[in-house]
Amino acid sequence: MNRQIVRVSVVALVLLASLVVGTTYWQTWAASSLKDRQDNAIQRVAQFTIRRGLVYASDGTLLAARRAEKVRGQTFYFRRYPAGDLASQVVGYSTQSRSRAGLERSENDYLTASNSHLNTVFRRTLDKLKGTTVTGNNLVLTIRPQAQKVALDALGSNCGAAVALEPSTGRVLVMASSPTYNPNLVEGRFDAIARQARGANCASPSPLVNRATAGLYTPGSTFKVITAAAALDTGTYTPESTFDDPGYCIEYGKKVSNFADQSGPEVFGHVDFPTALEHSINAVFCEIGKKLGPLPILDYARRFGFYSDPPLETPSDERVPSGLYDHGRLFRPRDPNQVDPGRLAFGQERMQVTPLQMAMVVAGIANGGVVMDPYVVEKITAPNGSTVTRTHPHALRRAIKPETASELTSMMERVVRSGTGTAAQISGVAVAGKTGTAETGVAGTNTTSFIAFAPADDPKVAVAVYLENQHGVGGQTAAPIAKQIMEALLRSRP
């Protein structure tokens, strides 16, 4: 019988050894993917035993702090957001009941010191061996709190978003989404958030959504900047090109009229290119679009970053790409006949943009044609203050030639000096901008917008403002908000 016993014992040992293999799989190979699962309640609770890193604004204002609480002998570190609703959609929240959002989610590894930078690994291991509580790394953001506050106040009860970038680096100076929410309410009084947002001027206020990166808006005439960039950069037109505006443009055998006031559609007659942008003449841009064709215009949009998620440190599912959308999905036309070139040229068609994307467009023009990757995390520091990692400005790509950028700049200056964007004038500072008013077919439900940068000769700030459900036009509604943000940022230059 001994031979059989040997074989049975081999079977038993193989079975037990398979358990070592199985355990090894879960504890090494699969451990990090288990950790990243949103429904992992153990991980979620376990992370509260770590002294989560703090989040600061660029001037040291504390945006996310810790609140230690002893529960049955164990100390947990919960979140407290001293700045309230200031930058909620960017910072996000870290809670037990609703997991995490925003940078709290995407930068979780740093905040819990589970990132793989050598000095963090060393410190974490030392803490574990000593039996002391592991402390996470801190985030220092690029956000300027005073200007952020100005932006939020200016947006008021409007639904919409405002983004301000530093053109030369891509730093996000302001990222305000309205209505905003108080992240301190997420854990215990979540329903209060929806209640407080009820006063906002739109059907679905969705305060948790970061409209700056995930809100899609019809750009309207702000898109003309991209059409103009394509027209000039390809050499098809120059600033000296002239046009005849009959007040409409013929597309597919039908009239597409200019913007209409009480006296009917405006008619400008013989105009040059800068005047067409200054007064935002649809008929002229319609003709330009027909001449260029839709695919070159979309190609220039792509050069500015359209058709891919705008690069930012927030979670990728909180950012959406800009571009043509067909039935809720990003649409990449292969055939020029699939797109109406005239309407595309003045930002209608099925073009949808995020405020961040349009801020990248103006920032690119301001930066001599080079679009920088936007970033909101300036640096990550260890608990002792030493820098773990710092973000270095990085160019996304050159979108247009420097000459094109300077031509566009002077054209956009005229928009603010004497065109549709005069409400954005700042005394003593040259502002370059472009207004947008997208009609949705129902009166009082326009999407209005303004994109701008200043000072025009030495740009320090580029801004994009998008508003939902407006009665007025972009020059009256969005431009004053953009102006206040630019003023605040230019005044408080560090």
Residue 471 token pair: 């009665």
| CA 428 to centroid of chain Cα atoms | 30
Taking a C-beta distance cutoff of 8 angstroms, is the pair 302, 364 a contact? no
Dist. CA 230–CA 298, nearest whole Å? 9
What CA–CA distance (Å, rounded) separates 119 from 22? 32
Say whether 221 is catalytic: yes
CB of 54 to another protein, least distance (A): 20
* DSSP assigned state of 60: S
Assess contact for 490 and 429: CB atoms under 8 A: yes
Minimum distance of another protein from residue 106's CB (angstroms): 21
| Residues 6 or more apart in contact with residue 119 via CB below 8 angstroms | 382, 386, 388
Residues with Cβ within 8 Å of residue 463, at least 6 apart in sequence: 162, 163, 164, 165, 174, 359, 362, 450, 451, 452, 453, 482, 485, 486
The catalytic position among 58, 88, 114, 221 is 221
Distance from C-alpha of 356 to C-alpha of 308, rounded to nearest angstrom: 12
73 three-state secondary structure? coil
**List of residues contacting another protein (CB under 8 A):** 1-9, 11-13, 15-20, 22-28, 30-31, 34-35, 37, 39-43, 45-46, 48-49, 69-74, 76, 78, 96, 128, 131
Closest CA to 289 of 330, 336, 335, 322: 336
* Exposure string for 330-361, b = 16+ CB within 10 A, e = fewer: ebebeeeeebbbbbbbbbbbbbbbbbbbbbbb
CA distance 426 to 403: 25
C-alpha–C-alpha distance, residues 209 and 177, integer Å: 8
Element (H, E) at 300: helix 294-303
Nearer to another protein, 59 or 69 (CB): 69
Give the CA distances from residue 321 to residues 119, 205, 226, 302, 379, in Å, rounded to whole numbers and listed in that order.
36, 21, 16, 10, 26
CA distance 310 to 210: 13
Are 433 and 416 contacting, i.e. CB atoms less than 8 angstroms apart? yes
Given the structure tokens 């960017």, which residue do they identify?
90
CB 89 within 8 A of CB 177: yes
| Structural contact between residues 77 and 51, judged by C-beta atoms closer than 8 angstroms | yes
Give catalytic residues, as residue numbers.
Answer: 221
